[in-house]
Amino acid sequence: MPSKTANPSARQTELLEAAYQYVLRHGLADLSLRPLAEAIGSSTRVLMFLFGNKDGLVRALLERARAEELALTAGLRRAEGSVGLETAAQEVWAWLAAGEHRPLLRLWAEAYARSLVDPDGPWAGFARSTVEDWLTVLAGCQPQAERDTEEGVVRRTLTLAVLRGALLDLLATGDENRVTGAVHQQLTLMRGAEGTGD
């Protein structure tokens, strides 16, 4: 069945945005079409027509969340030359730690976990896609000579692991000062190891 979101109408785009704002507040765990439709001024019949079914709507919502997350990368990719992993990681962490992004990142964490435990659901492949997205972004921030080496792959994988682990800690505790301090210390250690060639 062709995707109903391939060429969305203005109404579909409007309802998707309203639904996205709804799930940022309420999450996906107990998402039900009837209360969602009532909250955004629509009906279950319209949502079913536009998105096919609940799974189709969830997939569209996850794509919307992914697009917002990836908007961050535009600035890193536009930078002249390679900004380097440490600079990129500092910029990414500043964005991840900003309070206004918590609803999006809680939604990301929920979808990531769902993708791991229910690989056949509408979030199928979400976790893998986000890992690949971010590894691609970080690779683009590395100098060309490092990017295509085994060590380059290891360094960006470690960088991503630090950021993702710190993000989960921040979402769980809200302790931004402690977690940010740990991120900065780890990035400094990584830079020192790079400088010594270890």
Sequential DSSP letters for 14-58: HHHHHHHHHHHHH-STT--HHHHHHHTT--HHHHHHHHSSHHHHH
- The amino acid at 74: A
- CA gap 62, 79 in Å, rounded: 27
pLDDT score for 1: 36
- CA gap 149, 151 in Å, rounded: 5
Q: Which residues lie closer than 8 Å to 157 by C-beta, 6 or more apart?
A: 135
Summarised one tens digit per residue, pLDDT across range 124-181 is: 899 999 999 899 989 988 988 899 999 999 999 999 999 999 999 999 999 999 999 9
pLDDT score for 165: 96
Over the chain (198 residues), the average pLDDT of each successive run of 10 is 59 93 89 93 94 92 86 64 83 92 92 90 90 90 90 95 96 96 93 60
pLDDT score for 81: 58
For the whole model, what pTM was predicted? 0.81
pLDDT score for 157: 96
In the three-class reduction of DSSP (H, G, I as helix; E, B as strand; rest coil), residue 6 is classed as coil
